[in-house]
Amino acid sequence: MSSLQVTRGTRDILAPEIYCWQQLEATARQILSQAAYTEIRTPIFEATELFARGIGEATDIVGKEMYTFSDRGDRSLTLRPEGTAGVARSFIENKLFAQGGVQRLWYMGAMFRYERPQAGRQRQFHQLGVEVLGSADPRADAEAIAIASDFLRSVGLKDLVVDLNSVGSAEDRVEYRQALVDYFTPYVAELDQDSRDRLTRNPLRILDSKDKRTQEICQDAPSILNYLSAESQQHFEQVQTLLIDLKIAYRLNPRLVRGLDYYTRTAFEIQSNLLGAQSAVCGGGRYDRLISELGGADVPAVGWAIGLERLVILMQQVAEQKLSEIDFYVISRGEQAESKSLSIAQLFRQAGFCVELDLSGAKFDKQFKRASNANAKAAIVIGDSEVQMQQIQIKWLQSGEQEAIAIDDLSSAFEALKQKLSS
Ligand code: HAM
């Protein structure tokens, strides 16, 4: 009998990776409760109709990616492909609107999409998400983006960029949709198959095609930004002013259309170029019509979700980069040399260098091997002869170049060493 294996697109999470998950879960709880968000847990499966109506029949998620099944009572159920629709349903059903004010909710859990698995893309994946219900104020959009970036920074990520767009209101989009159909129709034979299908059903999504020729055609497509009403335009400008005040770097991307139909006005993604093809670690935006379309009151809302698998990949890459940030690896052999090695390591640390001290007492060649495994830039070598001559040897591991520095001259040598490291 063949052994059983984990299902394609799903995976086990074991130590040491699990520590990364635990760290980000704890950080999420702390940052979100500090910003007055409360946790919500909704069911993992819901009526299929909720996702079909909420996310949109013409989206890839609903059309191709849902795990839908009939239960023993013949109800059509679906494993949640995302969290927003379930939160919206719960908000309406539990009459959270009646509590007044703004509801700031967060959730964390497994989501399911039948996609082609690759690095950072799975069939069972996890999201951390927030939904802010009850405010149309641009500050709600900017606050949500700020909380996402605070969280990502707190788990150690830098160099992320916010791609920002406004997809306008439903009314703004009627005219824009037609403009896109008019623009793409003469190119129909050159579009990829998916985009041809989208031409009538969901022309905005053509802008998101990964096909090379379609992307070229998209270059000159009309921009949504020319179809925004005065109110949508003003909202968008206010969100941008707030982001500038908050010193959150963003770039305008008028071709950013999200894969879910409920968005109105602000749409954004947070990208990392460390992620390759699956570069979005966070996606979100405003959805002012969803609650009313699902049968609730007219409640504007905004939110986002972060893909935790992608976040863990990024955190691991950052940890690896940190490892390779070791400047000097201190190698010593012999009783006197070993006792000197700690004070030398400390001198270098106090001068601002990143230093690892080898404590193994192993032979020099073994210690050199460890220095190169640690990705150190150079080894500080101290043997008995160095102790006698009151000096250290520095061996640059890439070039093999070696230099001796008298211990008394160290403080004046530090500046030159710094320059050498950064060159
Ligand atoms: P989404 O862009 O579909 O938005 O997903 C959000 C994030 O989930 C993505 O940026 C990505 O990091 C991660 N993700 C999506 N699909 C996969 C997958 N197959 N494997 C791994 N990670 C994945 C939403 O889901 C919206 N509900 C976000 C939102 C909340 N908008 C408003 N409120």
The pLDDT value recorded for residue 99 is: 81
Give pLDDT, residue 303: 98
Per-residue pLDDT band at 317 (split at 50, 70, 90):
confident
pLDDT digits (tens, 9 = 90+) for 123-147: 999 999 999 999 999 999 999 999 9
> What is the model's pLDDT at position 319?
81
- Cα gap 291→104, rounded to integer Å: 15
Collapsed DSSP state (helix, strand, coil) of residue 230: helix
Burial of 4 (0-12, 13-18, 19+ CB in 10 A): exposed
On the question of pLDDT at 154 being above 70, the answer is yes
Ligand 1, atom 20: closest residue by C-alpha: 121
Pocket of ligand 1 (CB under 6 A): 82-84, 113, 115, 120-122, 125, 127, 129, 131, 258-260, 280-285, 287, 303-305, 307, 309-310
Is the pLDDT at 14 greater than 80? The verdict is: yes
211 by Cβ neighbours in 10 Å (0-12 / 13-18 / 19+) ranks as middle
Q: What's the whole-number mean pLDDT along residues 228-249?
A: 97
Query: Residue 298: pLDDT band by 50, 70, 90 thresholds?
Result: very high
- Residues 263-297 have pLDDT tens digits of 999 999 999 877 777 789 999 999 999 999 999 99
Distance 111 CA to ligand 1 centre (A): 9
Quickly state the pLDDT bin for 234 (edges 50, 70, 90).
very high
Average pLDDT of the residues in 208-221: 93
Q: Whose CA is nearest to atom 8 of ligand 1?
A: 307
CA distance 140 to 301: 8
User: Rounded distance, CA 284 to CA 267, Å?
Assistant: 6
Helix, strand, coil percentages, rounded to 5, for the chain: 45, 20, 35
Give the pTM.
0.81
Q: What is the mean pLDDT of residues 335-353?
A: 95
Q: How far is the CA of 145 from the centre of ligand 1 (A)?
A: 15
Q: How many angstroms separate the alpha carbon of residue 358 from the centre of ligand 1? A: 44
Mean predicted confidence (pLDDT) in 87-91:
98
Pick the residue whose CA is nearest to atom 18 on ligand 1: 121
Q: Are 249 and 145 in contact (CB under 8 A)?
A: no
pLDDT of residue 422: 74
Which residues neighbour 244 within 8 Å (Cβ) at sequence distance 6 or greater?
none
Q: Which of 37, 82, 114 to mutate to test the pocket of ligand 1 (most atoms within 8 A of CB)?
A: 82
Closest CA to 25 of 117, 109, 148, 120: 109
75: enclosing H helix or E strand = none
CA–centroid distance, residue 309 to ligand 1 (Å): 11
Atom of ligand 1 nearest to the CA of 84: 27
CA distance 379 to 355: 10
Q: Output the residue whose Cα is nearest ligand 1's atom 13.
A: 307
Is the pLDDT assigned to residue 184 strictly greater than 90?
A: yes
Instruction: Tell me the chain's radius of gyration from C-alpha atoms.
Output: 28
Q: Helix (H, G, I), strand (E, B), or coil: what is residue 222?
A: coil
Lowest-confidence range among 128-132, 316-320, 394-398?
Answer: 316-320
Residue closest to 199 by CA, chosen among 172, 212, 219, 217: 217
Long-range contacts of 385-391 (CB under 8 A, 24+ apart): 386/337, 387/334, 387/336, 387/337, 387/340
Q: Which atom of ligand 1 lies closest to the CA of 123?
A: 19
Q: How far apart are CA 281 and CA 416, in angstroms?
A: 40
Residue nearest atom 11 in ligand 1 by C-alpha distance: 307
pLDDT higher than 90, residue 100: no
d(CA 406, CA 378): 17
| pLDDT digit string, tens, across residues 162-182 | 999 999 999 999 999 999 999
- At 263, list the tokens: 């968005």
Mean pLDDT, the chain, rounded, equals 94
Residue nearest to atom 32 of ligand 1 (CA): 303
pLDDT at residue 295, rounded to an integer: 97
Contact 358, 367 (CB under 8 A): yes
Reported confidence tier of residue 210, pLDDT bands at 50, 70, 90: confident
Average pLDDT over residues 356-366: 95
Q: Which helix (H) or strand (E) holds 357?
A: strand 355-357
